[in-house]
Every structure is written in structure tokens, then in C-alpha cells.
Amino acid sequence: MLPMLNKHTLITAALMASMSLTACGSKKDVFTPPAKQGTETNNKGETQTGGEIGGGLSNPDQNSNGKNNTEPPLPLPDYSDLPNPGSGQKPPAPPAPGVPSAPSTPAPLPPPVTDTKPSPSLGTNPLPPDYRSNDASQVGRDNLTKRMTGGVTADGLVYTSSATDELLNFLRARNERVDQFTRQANLDAAASVLSAKLTVDGLSGDAIVTLKIQEGRDVKVYNVAGSMSEGGYSSALKSVRAGNGERTTGQRSLEGTIKCLDLDGLCENTFVRLKLGSQGSSSIVNVVFRNSAADLYFSLPGKYSDNPEYLQMREFIRNTILQANSENKIKQARMSSFEVINGRSGVALTLKGYNNELLGFSGPLLAPEAGTGVNITLSRIAKDQDDSLDLISLDRSQLNYANWIGDARMVANNGLGQVKLALKMRKRSAYAQDAFTVTFMRKIKPLVDLTDDNLK
């Protein structure tokens, strides 16, 4: 077993929901400090936090452009058998003797990837010169081209990236260069990946990648392990019996390579290329992992109740915005994602306080092809037994504030590394369920040149 692991990970498991969010109460905050959106990152790379205290809270039943959000809830997935590229048939994969199958009724699965709608077009999509990755107003901007994985749900929502680079477009275009048979096998394999998880030991560089793959009516787990190479070279990943707390249950062969993509070599962006299946019926799955600090922007309504839990939470946020000398404020914000080329993507968003309070939320990275407004219920890390963070990430953390949150939803995603969350306090006595919003903005880093040699 590999030594202690630091986290580069997340898993997506969320369904669309249509729920209302209200902010009501009796108090009125008379303090409204001047807040500048999009504060420039300082030289130390620390999280920058802005916000509005006493500002308005948008109606979550509308999208970020003020239009009604009438997307119906996504149905529970009904997956068909995973195709066998060699025969064109869809036989169910029989379980191997002595290896238990995954539960037939697992936790809610991510929305299925469908081929009933064409993938968004490929090509270079330069951002306008006035786009700023640390300006929270950009999360609802309409005239920006999202970075998309190529995966599309049955309802027409697209899976997106969480950065501004052209990496996903480059990898999708590369798959288009192979023959039709190979291309379809790769597309089928990508669509079958439900989640991907990466952990890397910060001292040794040992890495473990865990995939959950839909095979027929079962979900199979696959683990591969290796070491991150220095000097920007790819290194090999080999199949192992267990990893990331998951036992390997899949029977197909799996191997691959892993490569750090950051220009500075710090590996916040990592590329994993996997070969699934045996010779003659194999396919390629490409996954991009991103794990980096994020800037924040809060919007707190002026009217609020006397709920002591919300008053404590509000003070936590207010101290952060004002950079008060207090332990009750945010120390670090992080944004972690996985992005399967031509498949699903998901994100985990975490806040850690100087008082060791941890708030974490995870879900699929979905957006409409036009616009940014969505209404996606997020899992709360630890409470919902979500495994997007491991025990090392939860070490010495407290979850009091996290348990006070009754509802968490993603209400906007611009597909470029900015997502907006609407959070509502849990129901408590006769108090109103106070609500507020927070926008996460990934700190973007430059990548190595996107060439076939660099992405072997």
C-alpha cells in the first residue's frame, strides 16, 4: 500500500433538482463595505475573497441571466450494456468467480452520456480580451465559449471543463484522427466511466487512479498505480488489486500513463491516458485531473433571522471578506475536478477555516450549451458519504458548519473554471432558512505546449 496520500480527487454523483430558495427574516445589516470583484491574486498565491454584505440574493428558480429555470429533474439513469467493440454486440459482462459484484442499486448515478445529440463542435475558442478568471461577474456572462468534454446528457446539458485552456479540445480532436471503428470504441469507453479519482503522495510522487465503470447493469471498480516522473515525462500506470479505499472488481485489463501538465511542474493539472481491454478489443480513455486553489466571492442578503447557526456562519464569511483578525474565517478554498474526454466531468469545492471547519460540496460539472444557469443539487462531503475527499483531507477537520447547511446547489457554471453555489441553512425551530451564494473561481495556471509529444 502506498504511503499517506494528498488529495487530487473527486467523484460526481448528483441529480438535477428544481427547488426554491428563499432568504427572509427580521434583521437588516446596515454595514455594506466597498467590495471589489475580481481582486488580483497576490504574489503568495493566496485565496482572494470578495463579497457583498447586505446585497441581494438572486432567485434560484431563475438562471444567471434572469430567465426562468424550467429544466425538469433528470430521470434515474437506465444504462444499456457496455458494447464489445470486437463484435458490435452488447452482452453483459459476467462476474468473475470469487469477485463480488457492485451493488445492483448503488447511490444515485451521474446523468448518462448519450449519443442522441451531437457533441459540441471542436476548434480553438479564444477568450475575449476582457475576460478575467477572478471576476465573479463572469460566471453569468453569455458571450463566452465553454470548454466542454464532449459528453452530453439526454436532456441536452453538456459536461464542461473547469479551466480556460484548450486541453479538452486538443484531446477530442486527436480522437477524431483515428479510424471510425477505433473512434467509436473510444467514445463508448468514455461514456461508460462514471467517475475518476486521483491521489498523489506529495513526498514520493506515488499515484493511484481509480475508475468506476458501468458494465452492463453493474458498476465495476478499476485501480492503476505508478509514480509521477520528474522532468515532465510520462510514467507508466499498472493495474493493482486495490486503491483509494476501493477494491478492484473489474476483470478487463487496464494500463496507462500519467503526466504532469503544469508549466512550473507543480502538477495541479494532470493528464492520465488509459488503455482498457485486451489487444483487439481495447479502447483509450483520456482523463484530466485538476486540483488548485480558488478565489471566492460571497453575496449575503441584508435581511436575515436570529438563527444562531446562521449568525455564526455569517460571521465566518464576514470576517473573511473584511480580513478580520479572527480564527473564525476562511483559510483556504480549493477546486478539484476530473474531466473524461467525451464523457463525464465532476467537481469538488472545499472551504477550510483557520478554526479547522471544513465545508465541502461535490457534483457533476454540467451547463446548458447556451448560457450558464443550472439547478443541480450537490452532495455535501462527509454528511452524504461522498468519497470525493479521503480521510487524510478530513484529518483534524470539524464539520459543524457543514452540518448546518440544509441545501446546496450549483446555480451557474461558465465552463471556464467559475461556478456559483446557492446555500441554504438547515431547518431549525421557527427560524427562517437563511440563504447566501458563493462563487468559486479557479486560479488558472499555464500548461505545457499542447502537442502529441507532450501528451503521449
pLDDT of residue 122: 62
What is the overall mean pLDDT for the chain?
80
Domains in the chain: boundaries: 171-290
Question: pLDDT tens across 10-20, in order?
Answer: 333 333 333 33
Over range 264-289, report the average pLDDT: 92
Question: pLDDT tens across 390-440, in order?
Answer: 444 556 789 999 999 999 999 999 999 999 999 999 999 899 999 999 999
Burial class (CB in 10 A: 0-12, 13-18, 19+), 347: buried
Grid cell of 263 as nine digits? 508549466
Contact assessment for residue 12 and residue 345, using Cβ atoms and an 8 Å cutoff: yes
Decide which of 203 and 182 is more confident.
182
pTM recorded for the entire structure: 0.77
Contact assessment for residue 344 and residue 362, using Cβ atoms and an 8 Å cutoff: no
pLDDT of residue 428: 93
What gap in Å lies between CA 9 and CA 6, rounded to an integer?
Answer: 9
Percent of the chain with pLDDT over 90: 61
Question: Which of these ranges, 15-24, 219-228, 441-450, has the smallest mean pLDDT?
Answer: 15-24
Grid cell of 48 as nine digits? 482572494
Indicate the residue type of 374. Answer: V
What gap in Å lies between CA 188 and CA 115, rounded to an integer?
Answer: 10
